[in-house]
Amino acid sequence: MAKGPKDAATKGANKPALSLHVPEPTYRPGDAVDFAHIVVPDAGKQPRPDETCEAIETSDLCYDLVRVLGDDNKAHGPWDPKLDPDTLRTMLGHFAMVRAFDERMFRGQRQGKTSFYMKCTGEEATSISAAMALASDDMIFPSYRQQGILIARGYPLIEMINQIYSNKGDKLKGRQLPIMYSSREHSFFSISGNLATQTPQAVGWAMASAIKGDTRIAATWVGEGSTAEGDFHSACTFATVYNAPVILNVINNQWAISSFSGFAGAERTTFAARALGYGLAGLRVDGNDPLAVYAAEKWAADRARANAGPTLIEHFTYRAEGHSTSDDPSGYRSAQERDEWPLGDPVTRLKDHLIALGEWDEDRQAAMDLKCAEEVKAATKEAEKNGILGHGLHHPFRTMFQDVYENLPWHLEEQAAQAKREREIKWPGEEPWS
């Protein structure tokens, strides 16, 4: 009988020792980068099955990469959504705006106007192009890096900034960490800090829409790191069991804070391929190709609307900046990665496409970038009139106790009274609830 590790080792002496595989990213700080191992297929070569096809017919696409924009900056193949130039310019305008917004808010955090910010640089297409393929009342269950959807849906910049500053204009009353937006009016679900929780919620919303015989669908966004959460498994299972009209967007930006995608399982398969085991349709898309992202999202939306079932889309992209204002990526990855990333930059690619079409030029781009920066600046100034974090212009103190429940129970009444007393002691003579 084996009594412990020593005996067990002796017993198996004639067998090879087992070894644990701990994934390692290819490049660490200081390393030269060579992304030759990433297979980038030619644009336009991927077949486009009918939206109502059996899920299994998407098998090959789960290991491929749907691409439309080629190196020649032209659109190719069956996935070309054939968007008119005005739509493309609108998309480019949203790109420019979110980039200007990210830039200014990041700076605002560094200037101490707020506690926290997260950019979406390099991933603009995965939110903006995708959202533009949906109806404006399709329900979005986002993670924290889809600010582009709010911008694409026309959510006022000032409301976003009020939320980031937690000021007295903040619609969420200063309760939420910056960037955890919510807008029912824009069918944008309240963002939670707890990862992947939104995925089964999106499926439930889609089920509800189906139960009521509605025509709206739901779409959710989750990072590749968060696909390791149990909620994501539940979401995929429920989506397929009930044939829910939902799109599960996995943003594979290669990094979950400091952990590379290998820790979510990327070394052995694609994230799109997970769809197949659940019986979901799966698509793997060049996430920096705005036309491919639009086309894939539209395909999935049409599929859901036709009651043909849910789709999982892996958007293959790269998180060009740090995880957040609290993160310094130079501590864990090569600074060269961003420049060497083989799929380029989504903004540049769309701009170059429009220029190739003869519908845009660098001067107009420069003017648009400037206009966006000025708009954001103006919105920032306007929002600052409502206060910045820690400068006293916040929602009245009593709002801290509201909305925990629909009505204030006695114990919260008592605690609110205590908070009021504390304020009266701290600032005698002033309005304690202000």
Partner 1 sequence: MSTKTKDNNPAEAGSERRLNMIEAINEALDIKMTEDPDVIIMGEDVGYFGGVFRATAGLQEKHGKNRVFDTPISECGIIGAAVGMGAYGLRPVPEIQFADYIYPGLDQLISEAARLRYRSATDYIAPLTVRSPFGGGIFGGQTHSQSPEALFAHVAGLKTVIPSTPHDAKGLLIAAIEDNDPVIFFEPKRIYNAPFTGYYDKPVEPWKTHRDSVVPEGKYSIPLGKARIAQEGEALTVLVYGTMVHVAEAVCREKGIDAEIIDLRTIVPLDIEAIEASVEKTGKCLIVHEATRTAGFGAELSALVTERCFYHLEAPVERVTGFDTPYPHSLEWAYFPGPVRIGEAIDKLMSE
Q: How far is the CB of 47 from partner 1 (least distance, A)?
A: 32
Q: Which amino acid is at 327?
A: D
Q: Which amino acid is at 34?
A: D
Half-sphere exposure of 272 (CA within 13 A, CB side): 23
Q: How far is the CB of 205 from partner 1 (least distance, A)?
A: 4
Structure tokens at 129: 């192009």
Nearer to partner 1, 173 or 364 (CB): 173
Nearer to partner 1, 73 or 197 (CB): 197
Single out the residue of 26, 90, 115, 182 in contact with partner 1 (rule: CB under 8 A): 182
Q: How far apart are CA 219 and CA 199, in angstroms?
A: 9
Nearer to partner 1, 65 or 191 (CB): 191
Nearer to partner 1, 190 or 336 (CB): 190
Q: How far is the CB of 400 from partner 1 (least distance, A)?
A: 10
Site for partner 1 in 360-419 (CB under 8 A): 403-406, 409-411
Single out the residue of 38, 180, 355, 373 in contact with partner 1 (rule: CB under 8 A): 180
Would the CA dihedral through 346, 336, 102, 378 be positive or negative? negative
The total number of residues shown for the chain amounts to 434
**Per-residue interface string for the shown chain with partner 1, residues 147-176, x marking contact by CB under 8 A:** ------------------------xxx-xx
Single out the residue of 238, 316, 341, 360 in contact with partner 1 (rule: CB under 8 A): 238
Which among 53-61, 144-152, 191-199, 319-327 is the span making contact with partner 1, rule CB under 8 A?
A: 191-199
Structure tokens at 117: 């910010």
**By CB under 8 A, residue 305 contacts partner 1:** no
Q: How far is the CB of 406 from partner 1 (least distance, A)?
A: 5
Q: How far is the CB of 239 from partner 1 (least distance, A)?
A: 10
Nearer to partner 1, 180 or 416 (CB): 180
Q: How far is the CB of 213 from partner 1 (least distance, A)?
A: 9
Q: How far is the CB of 116 from partner 1 (least distance, A)?
A: 15
Q: How far is the CB of 162 from partner 1 (least distance, A)?
A: 12
Nearer to partner 1, 228 or 355 (CB): 228
**By CB under 8 A, residue 192 contacts partner 1:** yes
Q: How far apart are CA 164 and CA 186, in angstroms?
A: 18
Q: How far is the CB of 68 from partner 1 (least distance, A)?
A: 32
Site for partner 1 in 193-232 (CB under 8 A): 193-194, 197, 199-209, 211-212, 218, 230-231
Say how many residues touch partner 1, by CB under 8 A. Answer: 46
Nearer to partner 1, 235 or 320 (CB): 235
Q: How far is the CB of 233 from partner 1 (least distance, A)?
A: 8
Nearer to partner 1, 97 or 244 (CB): 244
The residue ranges that bind partner 1 (CB under 8 A) are 139, 141, 171-173, 175-176, 180, 182-184, 189-190, 192-194, 197, 199-209, 211-212, 218, 230-231, 233-235, 237-238, 241, 403-406, 409-411
